[in-house]
Amino acid sequence: MRVFHAGKDFFELKNPIRVGRVELQNIRIHNLKSIYEVKLPEIKAIPMEESKTKEWKVTTRCFSIDWNIGLQQLTVNAESKLKVFFKTKFHPVTMIIEPLVLHLKLRACFPFLEELQPLRSSHNSLRNLPQFATFSLDLEDVDIKHWKGVHIKGEGTFNKVVGFVVNSGLLTNLIQKEIVKKVRKYMPQKFAALKEKIHSKMNAWASRTIERYGVKVPRSAN
């Protein structure tokens, strides 16, 4: 469960999360207002694509979007513990994510449909728009630029040891690669869920429109 608190600049994760053998709880991410747009996105048109199915002619117009999102500094407060064979306790830990620029390359596509045999189509077939008739957004590439790493401080032996290693800068490149890996994994899932949601809303809108304004074509007499 994720909670935004009105009037407060932090994002809270109510449920604990696990990263390997490390468990985190009471996670709060502060200073979200430091996120900014580095510059206006660069948008380039991609040549149109055409395809046909049994019922539809599909013309797809796509755009390539280069987007740079900057982050001044984030502070993450939580409690952590290492799960081992003996009992351990949670200890407070603070992670400071230094300024960075997240570069995203996206592909946005808008399909335009034309019925090949409109007079033979039933109202039910029009209500069930094909999945490819939906706006789509795909992640083509992601990278982190101009990053100064992460700093960790906390109580307990585990947090102090991890903080010493991380603060030395030895793991900065590894952490950066892991962040990029996670973004590449989870953003397509979010985009797929968004596409499904848009497709569902489009179907509902088409159904309401047909019910209200649709004209039934009488069948020809035999």
**Residue 218 domain-assigned?**
no
- The pLDDT of residue 57: 78
Residue 34 lies in a domain: yes
* CA 127, 132, 133, 134 torsion-angle sign: positive
DSSP 21: T
Range of the domain at 158: 2-213
User: What pLDDT is stored for residue 129 in this prediction?
Assistant: 57
Rounded Cα distance between 149 and 167, Å, is 8
| pLDDT, position 133 | 64
- DSSP states along 85-146: SS----EEEEEEE--EEEEEEEEEEEEEEEESSGGG--HHHHHS--GGGS-EEEEEEEEEES
User: How many other β-carbons are positioned within 10 Å of the β-carbon of residue 211?
Assistant: 10
220 in a structural domain: no
What's residue 106's pLDDT? 92
Residue 221 lies in a domain: no
Q: What pLDDT, on the 0 to 100 scale, is given for residue 63?
A: 92
Residue 222 is assigned to a structural domain of this protein: no
Predicted local confidence at residue 1, as pLDDT: 41
Q: Do residues 104 and 127 make contact, with C-beta atoms less than 8 angstroms apart?
A: no
Instruction: Report the C-alpha gap between 14 and 27 in whole angstroms.
Output: 7
Instruction: With respect to residue 185, please indicate whether it lies within any of the assigned structural domains.
Output: yes
In a domain, 102, yes or no: yes
Determine the pLDDT at residue 8: 60
Residue 45's pLDDT is what?
92
**For residue 129, which of 117, 140, 115, 142 has the smallest C-alpha distance?**
115
**Residue 2: predicted pLDDT:** 47
The count of structural domains within the chain is 1
The list of the chain residues with pLDDT below 70 reads: 1-9, 115-134, 199, 202-203, 206-207, 209-222
Is 205 domain-assigned? yes
Number of neighbours of residue 83 by Cβ within 10 angstroms? 11
